[in-house]
Amino acid sequence: MQEAPAPLVRGEPVRVADGVFVIPDGRVPLVPNIGVVLGEHAALVVDTGIGPRNGAAALERARELAGDRKLYVTVTHFHPEHGFGAQSFKGAATIVYNRAQRDELRRKGTGFLEMFRGLGPHIAAELEGVELVDPDLVFDGRAELDLGGRTVELLAVGPAHTVGDQVVLVDGRVLFGGDLLETRMFPIAPYFPPHDTDVDPGRWIGVLDELRALAPEVVVPGHGEITDVTLIDEVRGYLDHVRGESARLRAEGVPAEDAAETVGKAARARWDTWDNPEWIGFTVRAFYASEGAGGPDGERRAT
């Protein structure tokens, strides 16, 4: 089997809307799509890459675009490939997280650092010297950044993929969805009992309904190609399918592991152009473990 390439931020920024650029992931595992949003007097970076070298590369690209504008940086969630380059921005940018995201980083950051170091030497190399840094600013629920002629909303929408999921909406048109959305990839459901079982796939579906109601024109997923609002429908359709099948099989007394195999086989055939099918089983197990599997979406928890 061919070894995966090193998870390096290497892409050149691509303009996706007026004042909005994305450093694309190139479909390289553990490289996120990184956003740079320019206003008249300030700029925002969305996600940092994994480790200090990638954080420095993202900062360099941002500075090339932003010049001497004031910089902000935020992350869509705490996972290493999205936020463990933040130390490179310390002192160079104002780091902004929602409170749940900050708290989740404090609770789980060290454990995820060790877990990701075990995924291979290329990944471990990028995590050398990582320091988990606290944000400069913390908000609850919603924050608005005025970059100068361009308004950016930071919206805390978790728990779903993680407890502290956050999306970024630029001028009501461009949505950075983090790992709530992937293009042509099965959604990542980090259900890792007993260490981390906070993924909430049922509530994730409700979050996608809320994002769909925003009617964005451009959708930037956590990984994969930049697209439009149809991506939200595709991911929701998949999660709803797995929810329904998981509920049916559980009601029939099928064990979770057998259900994961059954649902996985059918899903791979139905979504045969999608990568990372190993996440299907994790999603089934997460639905099995949730009390409301197959039931109506629960009410949104206050953020």
**Mean pLDDT (whole number) for 105-115:** 97
In whole angstroms, give the CA distance from residue 86 to residue 74: 9
Contact 56, 88 (CB under 8 A): yes
For the chain, give the percent of residues with pLDDT over 90.
Answer: 93
**DSSP alpha helices (H): ranges in 163-229?**
201-213
Residue-range domain boundaries for the chain = 14-289
Q: Which CATH architecture has domain 14-289?
A: 4-Layer Sandwich (3.60)
Tokens 């964005």, located at residue? 216
What would the pLDDT profile of 25-44 be if each residue is shown by its tens digit? 999 999 999 999 999 999 99
For the chain, give the percent of residues with pLDDT over 70.
Answer: 95
What would the pLDDT profile of 259-269 be if each residue is shown by its tens digit? 999 999 999 99
**Mean pLDDT (whole number) for 150-162:** 97
Nearest C-alpha neighbor of 176 from the set 32, 27, 2: 32
At residue 295 the predicted structure's pLDDT band, cuts being 50, 70 and 90, is very low
Question: What pTM did the predictor assign?
Answer: 0.94
**DSSP alpha helices (H): ranges in 171-255?**
201-213, 230-251
**DSSP alpha helices (H): ranges in the chain?**
51-66, 80-83, 99-117, 121-126, 201-213, 230-251, 256-270, 279-289
**Mean pLDDT (whole number) for 173-182:** 98
At residue 291 the predicted structure's pLDDT band, cuts being 50, 70 and 90, is low
**Mean pLDDT (whole number) for 116-128:** 96
Distances (CA, A) of 53 to 10, 41, 49, 125, 247: 11, 27, 9, 10, 44
Contact 292, 298 (CB under 8 A): yes
In whole angstroms, give the CA distance from residue 202 to residue 244: 10
In whole angstroms, give the CA distance from residue 301 to residue 286: 19
**First-to-final CA distance of the chain:** 44
In whole angstroms, give the CA distance from residue 260 to residue 180: 21
In whole angstroms, give the CA distance from residue 149 to residue 13: 21
**Mean pLDDT (whole number) for 87-100:** 98
pLDDT exceeds cutoff 90 at 299: no
At residue 292 the predicted structure's pLDDT band, cuts being 50, 70 and 90, is very low
Q: Return the pLDDT at 4.
A: 75
Distances (CA, A) of 76 to 128, 149, 156, 221, 257: 22, 23, 9, 10, 31
